[in-house]
Amino acid sequence: MFKKAIVVLVALLLSSCSAEMIRSDKNYVYYEIFVGSFYDTNDDGMGDLDGVTEKLEYLNDLGIGGLWLMPIHPSPTYHKYDVIDYEAIDPKYGTMQDFEELIAKADEYNIEIIIDLVLNHSSSEHPWFIEAKKNVLNGTCENENSYCDYYVFTTTPQGKYYAIGKGFYYEALFWDKMPDLNLDNPEVRNEIKDILQFWLDKGVKGFRLDAVTSFYNQNVTKNTEFLEWLDETIESIDPEAYVVGEAWTTNSSITALYQSGIDSLFQFSLSQADGLIASSIRAKSGNKLANEVIKYNDMIKSANPESLNAVFISNHDQGRSAGYFKSSQVEFQKLMASIYILMPGRSFVYYGEEIALRGSGKDENKRLPMIWDNEDNTGKTLGPSAADYVGEEAIGVKQQIADKNSLYNHYKQLIRIKNKYDVITDGNLESLDLNDNVYALRSYSDTEEVIVIHNLSDTEITIEYDFAEYKIDEQVFNLSQTKAKITSSSLVISPYNTVVLIKK
């Protein structure tokens, strides 16, 4: 259940802020950060928490209201999805004091922070697993604090189980270095509750839950039951905490998972080069896309009326969205952004997406260094050591800020619009059948009404409709700087452009 009341927050014009920012806590646009590749403050080649703190002004100016930090816990890998200590900071990223300072500074900007929480498995180097394996092999699981029941051990060889010797095997769905936790064990659940309490007390505003379909290996019923327990536990600690889950699965499974009461699940069908957004742009099928948006939102609302869709076009597990089209097709990059930022639900931007950062192939190549300035490498990280992506470098943040027609400034305008209207995020929805090439979605509540219109075609379109009660409030230009024209019965919109209508 989405817990927050609709409260309009007016950010203070702080001496450290570049602009006054007005955001509702309901429609925050989130920004996903792989800390190790974001910004390096101590010249060791590794991005760090201080780097995130240093760039809060940048993020605030972009209009970002929330940060999702990929795993920050101690881990033997670069990606850190195998946790050694759930209540600590990886030394490569900094200290707990650095994290506390980040939280405090983010609060000044009214930017909330959620952290990745990996509960399906731990690292094989976690003290729990080391102790459990020792006791299983020694036959001393009856000892107090043996941790044997923290994991899933068996004497029957089977798929996704790995040998530890003496005929024993342990479950590890993803990798032998990631042993699966036994989430049925009350002691494990008590550990999880302590972990949740620890980070919420530190000031995080919620969690991104990793691999929720794997908690019980694609068992939808048990996964939903565990999510319900987890969501209720989080809410008991902080009723306003925000929880979003990763569930790369079918719509029927998504519907069941929403019945847990979780706030959001990522809609994976929107993302990737062959996803709904990119393919709709290629097919110029705006109306069909709008109808799919309605259908999906109706589906999740039927399972949980308070649900809030989590929309995105790429993340750390997928090829960068800049690669969905040719680098010369900036109009399509901008149109993608226009569509998903102004879509119902909470929009998530993957770091660097706003400057068309590229990267594809193995995971390391999808988490490359952020490009802050093409002429100055201050703060630039080395990125994952195994990365081998060879491609053109993105135009840096500094250069794009100076270019009023840049992708960065396009994102900035879109995020400002999303921040302006709660109703775009969580209003009642209706698709308008205006033209096959036109995406038109009406969002409305008792107090507000907005129509978002995108022209997905390469030609100017005249739309015939009863616009007598509406006026153009916002225009987002793309290839053409030609302003839209509205009369009581028609709207003329240029190729790839966007208009936002409100009632007069």
DSSP state of 343: S
Cβ distance 394 to 371 under 8 Å? yes
Residue 361 three-state SS:
coil
CA 192 vs CA 118, 214, 496: distances in Å: 10, 17, 47
DSSP state of 93: T
32 is catalytic: no
CA distance 66 to 208: 12
362, two tokens: 């193995």
Contacts of 307 (CB under 8 A, 6+ apart): 2, 258, 262, 263, 264, 265, 300, 301
331 is catalytic: no
* Closest to 245 in 3D by CA, of 260, 235, 232: 260
Cβ distance 394 to 406 under 8 Å? no
Contacts of 295 (CB under 8 A, 6+ apart): none
CA end-to-end span of the chain:
34
Cβ distance 19 to 36 under 8 Å? no
119, two tokens: 């509960």
CA distance 254 to 268: 10
Rg for the chain (alpha carbons), in Å? Answer: 23
Q: Position of tokens 């259940």?
A: 1
CA distance 131 to 354: 45
Contacts of 88 (CB under 8 A, 6+ apart): 73, 74, 96
Catalytic residue among 90, 116, 171, 210: 210
Contacts of 382 (CB under 8 A, 6+ apart): 45, 46, 369
314, two tokens: 């790429």
Catalytic residue among 90, 246, 422, 426: 246
Which residues carry out catalysis?
210, 246
